[in-house]
Structures are given as C-alpha cells and as structure tokens.
C-alpha cells in the first residue's frame, strides 16, 4: 500500500495529483527527495485529519525513513516480480501434543477395571512380563483378583519366586513335583492361602517351615512324601479350620507335636496318615487324639504297630467313619469285625494285605450280624458263602485273598 499526496492509500499506482506533482519535479535525484518531502509537508495537516477520521494513526517523520516511500513504490512497480527480503526474527520451538490415533483410545486411557479384565486372560509367563512395562501395569499385574489360583506343578522355581507370588493374594497354591528354592519372603504378613498342595516337592525343611509359618487359614493341605519337623507340625496346628490333611509318607516329627496338631484341628473331615515313619507311640497318639468328626481315615501301612486294641479305641472315638483304610496291618484278625459293625455310617472298608483275615471271614461278616455266636453252624456259613459269591458279591465289604 502507498500513501499518496491526497492522503489516501493506493494499492500500487499513483493518483492524478501525484502524477502532476512528479512532472513538476526535476529529474535530478537530489531534487526528487526534496520535492517529495515538501509535498508531504504541505499536505500533512490535511492528511492527518483524514486518517484520524478513518481511525488510522499517522506515522511520525522519524519513522518514515524506515517505511516504504513513494520512490520505493515506483521502484517496486518497475520490478514487481522481485521479493523483499524480510529480517528473520527470533522464534521458539513448541512441541504440539501427541494426537490420538484414529481409534480414539490408548492403553493409558483405559480404566483399571478394563485392564484387569484383559490381564485375566494372560498366562502366568505373559502376566509377569506385563508387570515390568510400567509402574501402573506392575501394580495391576499383582492385583489380588488375578492371583486367586496359582498352579506351578512340575516347575523349577528360583529363589524368591514363591516369596514374591504368594503374598499377592493367592488362595489356592498347587505345586506338586516341583523344585522350590528358598521362598525369601519380604514380609511377615500372614498369607491368604486356603488350599496348598506340595506333594512330592523337592525343598528344604527350612523353606517349608517359612511358608507354613505364615499360614493361618488353611482348609486343604497335602504334604505327601516330604520330610517334616516338629516346628512344621506346630505350624499346621495354627490352622483350626483345616478340613483335609494329607501327610502320607511323611517323617521327621515326634509324638507330642502330633498330639498337638490332632487336638487343634478339631474339624478335620479327611485325614491321611498312611505309611508315615510311625512308631507304636505315634499310632496310639493318632488313634487317641484324632477328632470324632472325621469321616475318612487312612491308617494303612503300620504292620505290627496297629493292634486290635487300637481298632477298638478308634471305632469308639470316631463313630461317623464312612471310609476306613487299615491295609497292611498284619496284626488284625477276624475279631476286628465286631468293632467295625458299630460303625453305622461305614461304606468302604479296606483290609488289603491283612494276612490274618481271609475272604471267608469277610463273607461271614457280611451275612451274619454276629459271626461269633455259639449257635451259628460252620457248615451253614460255608453254604452261605458259596451263595453270596455266586450271587451279588460281598455287599459293601471289600475283600482280597491274603498273599501267601
């Protein structure tokens, strides 16, 4: 835009008054500057009034030197294709916020509940990998809702793995036939375990003790084939809600801790103490201190340590027995059936490899309520035996021929 002598802005050309004044100015370069300045000074007052009415402020004279003059306009009209050079000004680089993709969602915007629902479908190995992505994912990966059940059967667990996973809220822990190194718990807070299976694991007594010492809510426990200690048996006694206990094939504990455990676990329903390294004192302690609420009991494998008197005590103490296994008790004979008949709820009796009990004794016990009555004819017993064998079997009694 060019300011002409009349005080109006013209896009590029000159008005008639400007062209008339230019004709009066000599061609000398010095005169051009003088004439132009004179013309502008003459009409400055009228121009200022006109611009004020238009709402435009007039530049002072000292600022005119830095602006485009009429001479510059003439030069620009002759070479309109040339570009002016503009000074580079200082600038600041500002990073624009990252725009979301077309999907309109990202992992950071998903709520915790939705991420937990996604993590619930991940296998254990992938869930562990996800826990190292960021702090938020680490917190969500160890949420209690994802660690209700933990199955590590047949695994080799490095030191510290069990100590990190069990405090995450695990309630069911299955780890049979695994190799467990030191748990290395970082907290002494009690665990929430309710069911634990460590059958036939390879682990030290100290490692097993460090786990059981933090358990107070166990309901199902299996330690089959492990070497225990008195402290471990005392730790088991700290779980009064224990319902099922399997110590088959265990060893390494004394009689007194066994009495304490059986007395403390008063709601036991299933108990397996078969083939433990028991002495005669252990067997008597088990028979005399087992809870009367037990319905399934396994005391097999005690050969000469289980006597007829022990069977009598057991039957009188546990009248609710449904399943009873006394296999490999060579001291038992057919007289024990007079005690078994007192168990009105008994459905399964196992007397395998009890060499003093023959199949005929089982048949007689199944047919006659009291086979030791004096008025029972032995010949009648034999005939009854043949009829039963040819017929429906041995009723609810399980029989095996003794090994010779």
- Mean pLDDT by runs of 10 across the 404 residues of the chain is 51 54 50 44 57 53 47 50 48 59 68 86 84 86 83 90 88 93 86 94 94 94 95 95 96 95 95 94 95 95 92 94 94 89 90 85 63 50 46 40 34
Q: Two tokens at 388?
A: 């039963």
Q: Two tokens at 176?
A: 């049979």
Distance CA 55, CA 51 (A): 6
- State residue 83's pLDDT score: 46
CA distances from 375 to 116, 192, 369, 370, 381 (A): 75, 61, 13, 10, 11
- CB of 371 closer than 8 Å to CB of 341: no
Torsion of CA 283, 286, 287, 290, to 10 degrees: -170
DSSP 168: G
Strands lying side by side in the sheet with 323-325: 149-151, 172-174, 195-197, 220-222, 244-246, 270-272, 296-298, 323-325, 348-350
Distance CA 286, CA 258 (A): 7
- State residue 34's pLDDT score: 43
Question: Residue 311 class from Cβ within 10 Å (0-12 exposed, 13-18 middle, 19+ buried)?
Answer: buried
* Closest of 393, 340, 391 to residue 369, by C-alpha: 340
pTM: 0.64
Tell me how far apart the 2 most distant CA atoms of the chain are, in Å: 165
């Amino acid at each position: 835009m060019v300011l002409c002598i009349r005080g109006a802005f013209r896009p590029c050309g000159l008005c008639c008054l400007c062209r008339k004044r230019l004709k009066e100015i000599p061609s000398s370069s010095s005169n051009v500057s003088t004439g132009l300045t004179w013309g502008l000074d003459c009409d400055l007052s009228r121009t200022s009034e006109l611009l004020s009415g238009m709402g435009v402020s007039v530049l002072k004279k000292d600022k005119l030197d830095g602006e485009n003059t009429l001479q510059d306009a003439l030069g620009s009209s002759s070479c309109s294709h040339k570009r002016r050079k503009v000074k580079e000004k200082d600038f600041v680089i500002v990073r624009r916020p990252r725009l979301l993709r077309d999907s309109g969602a990202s992992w950071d915007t998903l709520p915790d509940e939705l991420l937990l629902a996604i993590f619930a479908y991940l296998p254990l190995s992938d869930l562990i990998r996800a826990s190292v992505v960021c702090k938020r994912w680490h917190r969500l990966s160890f949420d209690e809702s994802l660690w209700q059940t933990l199955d590590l059967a047949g695994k080799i667990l490095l030191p510290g793995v069990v100590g990190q996973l069990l405090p995450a809220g695990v309630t069911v822990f299955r780890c049979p036939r695994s190799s467990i190194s030191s748990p290395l718990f970082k907290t002494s807070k009690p665990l929430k375990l309710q069911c634990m299976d460590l059958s036939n694991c390879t682990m030290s007594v100290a490692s097993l003790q460090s786990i059981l010492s933090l358990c107070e809510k166990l309901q199902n426990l299996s330690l089959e084939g492990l070497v225990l200690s008195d402290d471990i048996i005392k730790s088991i006694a700290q779980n009064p809600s224990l319902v099922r206990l399997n110590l088959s094939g265990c060893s390494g504990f004394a009689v007194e801790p066994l009495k304490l455990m059986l007395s403390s676990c008063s709601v036991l329903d299933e108990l397996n103490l078969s083939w433990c390294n028991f002495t005669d004192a252990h067997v008597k302690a088990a028979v005399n201190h087992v809870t009367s609420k037990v319905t399934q009991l396994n005391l097999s494998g005690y050969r000469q340590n289980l006597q007829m008197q022990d069977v009598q005590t057991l039957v009188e103490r546990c009248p609710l027995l449904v399943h009873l296994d006394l296999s490999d008790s060579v001291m038992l004979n057919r007289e024990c059936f007079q005690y078994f008949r007192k168990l009105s709820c008994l459905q399964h009796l196992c007397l395998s490899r009890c060499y003093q009990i023959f199949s005929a004794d089982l048949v007689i016990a199944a047919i006659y309520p009291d086979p030791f009555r004096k008025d029972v004819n032995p010949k009648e017993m034999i005939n009854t035996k043949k009829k039963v064998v040819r017929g429906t079997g041995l009723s609810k009694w399980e029989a095996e021929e003794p090994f010779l």
